[in-house]
Amino acid sequence: LLSEAQRKRVDVVLVSPRNPLNIGAAARAMANFGFARLTVVAPFAAHWREARSAIGAPDLLKKAQEVATLAEAVANCTLVIGTGTLTRRKAEQRAVLLPNLPPVMREEVARKGRRAAIVFGPEKRGLTREDLSQCHLLVEIPTDARQPSMNLGQAVAVCLYELSRIPVAGNAAKPRAQEMPDKADAATLDRLAGLVEQCAKAAGYSPAIMEAANRHDLRLMLRRLQFNAGDARRALGVFRRILWRLEHPRN
């Protein structure tokens, strides 16, 4: 169970939602379970307008943030959680079942300065591999193998229910009591990834044809490695210096 202050540190992110009714349903579920911060990535303009102007649309839908890319949406988040099923693919990052998400989420947002995002893909195809490479963690709703794919509004409702669910006495999980340093946010990791890529390129690390695949692997790896803010700062410093030297060789 997240406290009210903790819920304020959770963003719900919808990537390119298509159906205005689903957008409305997602917003309503947020209101039902006490979440207020909605971000919509690259929505279909007409549908997005329609959803926001619907009669009875909750306030949080009107105040929702609209951005062009998932990277922007999660830039200041320290934990990005992608949703989906693993029936058709193997996860490239750590995956948890939804009932196991609350302690992970609570541990994150219990700390000041941390923010988490829970990200939902478009109705038809879900999150792409590219989208998921921006996520630290994949959460899977346990569904029947014969009909694994959930409706968007219902998936949002079920996830937020789980996060605001009052734990049944006896199996409440204790968050690890330990001082943890600041985690690097997504924007910092992207900056670091960009810099590493430039260095690799300047050093002629691999042929151009491998660029996209390398970028993808690098993004996953940086999220796996769990840089704290200081680590990221140090790594940025080293790579900046290396890049400068690669571009200004001593003769």
Cα gap 91→15, rounded to integer Å: 19
Q: Using the rule CB under 8 A, which residue among 154, 187, 191, 236 binds a second copy?
A: 154
If one asks whether residue 124 binds a second copy (CB under 8 A), the answer comes out as no
* 21 is an interface residue for a second copy by CB under 8 A: yes
Question: CB-wise, 68 or 249, nearer to a second copy?
Answer: 249
Stretch that binds a second copy, among 28-36, 38-46, 67-75, 111-119 (CB under 8 A): 28-36
* Position among 45, 46, 68, 166 found at the interface with a second copy (CB under 8 A): 166
Asked if 213 touches a second copy (CB under 8 A), the answer is no
Tell me: does residue 99 bind a second copy (CB under 8 A).
yes
Tokens linked to 64 = 């929702």
Beta strands 37-41; 116-120: pairing state: unpaired
Lookup result for tokens 């790594």: 235
Nearer to a second copy, 203 or 212 (CB): 203
Q: Least Å distance between CB 222 and a second copy?
A: 9
Rule CB under 8 A: choose which of 55, 112, 124, 204 binds a second copy. Answer: 204
Considering the complex, what minimum distance in angstroms separates the CB of residue 47 from a second copy?
16
Among 65, 205, 212, 213, binds a second copy (CB under 8 A): 205
Beta bridge partners of 96: 139
Counting runs of H as helices and runs of E as strands, what totals does the chain give?
11, 7
Which is nearer to a second copy, 88 or 204 (by Cβ)? 204
Give the residue, chosen from 54, 67, 75, 95, that forms a contact with a second copy under the rule CB under 8 A. 95
DSSP-based three-state secondary structure for 37: strand
150 is an interface residue for a second copy by CB under 8 A = yes
Query: Can you tell me whether residue 174 is helix, strand or coil?
Result: coil
Q: How far is the CB of 115 from a second copy (least distance, A)?
A: 20
Least separation in angstroms between residue 68's CB and a second copy is 29
With a CB cutoff of 8 Å and minimum separation 6, the contacts of 28 are 58, 153
Is position 176 an interface residue for a second copy (rule: CB under 8 A)?
Answer: yes
Residue 173 CB: number of other CB atoms within 10 A?
Answer: 12
Q: Could you tell me where the beta strands, DSSP code E, fall in 124-224?
A: 137-140
Q: Are 1 and 105 in contact (CB under 8 A)?
A: no
Measured at the alpha carbon of residue 22, what is the angle toward residues 14 and 166, in degrees to the nearest 5? 75
